[in-house]
Amino acid sequence: MNNNRPVTTLYMLMSVDGKISTGVTDDMDVDKDLSKIKGVREGLHQYYEIEQTTDLWSFNTGRVQAKMGVNEKPSPKKSPVSFVILDNHHLTKQGVQYFCALSKEFVLVTTNPEHPAFGVEADNLHIIMQKELSLSEMLTMLRKDFGCERITIQSGGTLNGMFLREKLFDYVDIVVAPVLVGGKDTATLIDGESLRNGCGLDQLGALQLIECIPLVDSYIRLRYKVI
Which domains are present in the chain?
Answer: 7-226 (3.40.430.10)
pLDDT, residue 29, reads 85
pLDDT, residue 224, reads 98
pLDDT, residue 116, reads 98
Q: Cα torsion for 6, 67, 93, 5, to the nearest 10°?
A: 10
Rounded CA-CA distance 1/7 in Å is 7
Alpha helices in the chain (DSSP H): 30-34, 45-51, 62-67, 93-102, 135-146, 157-165
φ/ψ of 58, rounded to 5, equals -130, 130
CB-based burial, 96-119: b 16+ in 10 Å, e otherwise: bbbbbbbbebbbbbbeeeebbbee
Sheet of 220-226: strands edge to edge?
Answer: 125-129, 106-110, 82-86, 57-61, 150-153, 7-15, 171-177, 220-226, 207-214
Rounded CA-CA distance 2/106 in Å is 23
Give the three-state DSSP class for 139: helix
Q: Cα torsion for 160, 165, 169, 173, to the nearest 10°?
A: 50
How do the residues of the chain divide into helix, strand and coil, expressed in percent and rounded to 5? 25, 25, 50
Alpha helices in 68-208 (DSSP H): 93-102, 135-146, 157-165
220: number of CA atoms within 13 Å, CB side?
11
Instruction: Please give the chain's pLDDT, 227 residues, in tens.
Output: 678 999 999 999 999 999 999 998 888 888 889 999 999 999 999 999 999 999 999 999 999 999 889 999 999 999 999 999 999 999 999 999 999 999 999 999 999 999 999 999 999 999 999 999 999 999 999 999 999 999 999 999 999 999 999 999 999 999 999 999 999 999 999 998 887 766 677 778 899 999 999 999 999 999 999 99
